Amino acid sequence: GESVGLHLPTLSVQEGDNSIINCAYSNSASDYFIWYKQESGKGPQFIIDIRSNMDKRQGQRVTVLLNKTVKHLSLQIAATQPGDSAVYFCAETPGSSNTGKLIFGQGTTLQVKP
Amino acid sequence: GAGVSQSPSNKVTEKGKDVELRCDPISGHTALYWYRQSLGQGLEFLIYFQGNSAPDKSGLPSDRFSAERTGGSVSTLTIQRTQQEDSAVYLCASSGSSKNIQYFGAGTRLSVL
């Protein structure tokens, strides 16, 4: 069945260090992989997406890497700041659907120490 | 409006009662989604609207759950005969042309006693 999961529930990093959040997925037919950030008491916020035919995509301070061989997705945050503290979810879009339905993983909590 | 608005922000109800949750999407967004988030969990897709029709309602957990959208704008999620396992945060999102970029509201926290 379709599932998206994360390797670690909590990641603690020092301010200024780089963060790497990992995600494993099982559906090889997914079209897009997406990262969302959720701060306490708020809804998730889009960070970056990557299409399944790409290996890497960069945004502002963030990079997403996709390894289809091992069905692994990662989000790298450069120079982590206190404002990056949140729960990070990876999500995927089922390959056969164009409805925008997102399948979310369980989330990784990022804690940034000052 | 400036963002997706949901009401109420909190709802406490008794088991067996019906509840209605409201979502006001971003103006002009034709796609609207409902998700459910249990404590400490990821989001679970419930239903997708394109305009006023719902081409994908595969995530609705039972026939006690229904949703409608009128005027291509406001949507209401109704849960009949609520059960304790319905307790969760119900999140609404809307999107424009890029369905990967969904804008979420702050959610309605539903507690069924």
pLDDT of residue B41: 80
Chain B closest CA to A21's CA: distance in Å? 15
Q: Specify the fold of B5-112.
A: Immunoglobulin-like (2.60.40)
SS3 string, chain B, reads: CCCCEEECCEEEECCCCCEEEEEECCCCCCEEEEEEECCCCCEEEEEEEECCEEEECCCCCCCCEEEEECCCCCEEEEECCCCHHHCEEEEEEEECCCCCCCEECCCEEEEEC
Tens of pLDDT along chain A (114 residues) come to: 345 654 558 999 999 999 999 999 888 888 899 999 999 999 999 999 999 999 999 999 999 999 999 999 999 999 999 999 999 999 999 865 567 889 999 899 999 998
Q: Hey, is the C-beta of B56 within 8 angstroms of any chain A C-beta?
A: yes
Q: Which residues of B touch A100 (CB under 8 A)?
A: 31, 33, 48, 95, 99-100, 102
Inter-chain CB proximity B95 and A100 less than 8 Å: yes
Inter-chain CB proximity B59 and A101 less than 8 Å: yes
User: A102 with A50: CB under 8 angstroms?
Assistant: no
pLDDT tens, residue by residue, B13-55: 999 999 999 999 999 999 999 999 998 788 999 999 999 999 9
User: Best of A99, A104, A106, A108 to disrupt the B interface by mutation (most B CBs within 10 Å)?
Assistant: A99
pLDDT tens, residue by residue, B79-99: 999 999 999 999 999 999 888
pLDDT of residue B58: 93
Inter-chain CB proximity B102 and A41 less than 8 Å: no
Q: Hey, is the C-beta of A106 within 8 angstroms of any chain B C-beta?
A: yes
Inter-chain CB proximity A98 and B99 less than 8 Å: yes
pLDDT of residue B105: 97
Inter-chain CB proximity A43 and B45 less than 8 Å: no
User: Best of B38, B94, B100, B101 to disrupt the A interface by mutation (most A CBs within 10 Å)?
Assistant: B100
- The beta-carbon neighbor of B45 closest among A43, A89, A101 is A101
Task: Tell me the Cα Rg of chain A.
Answer: 13
Separation of alpha carbons A62 and A85, rounded Å: 14
Q: What are the phi and psi torsion angles at B54 (to 5°)? A: -120, 85
Domains of chain B, residue spans = 5-112
pLDDT of residue A29: 85
Chain A closest CA to B73's CA: distance in Å? 17
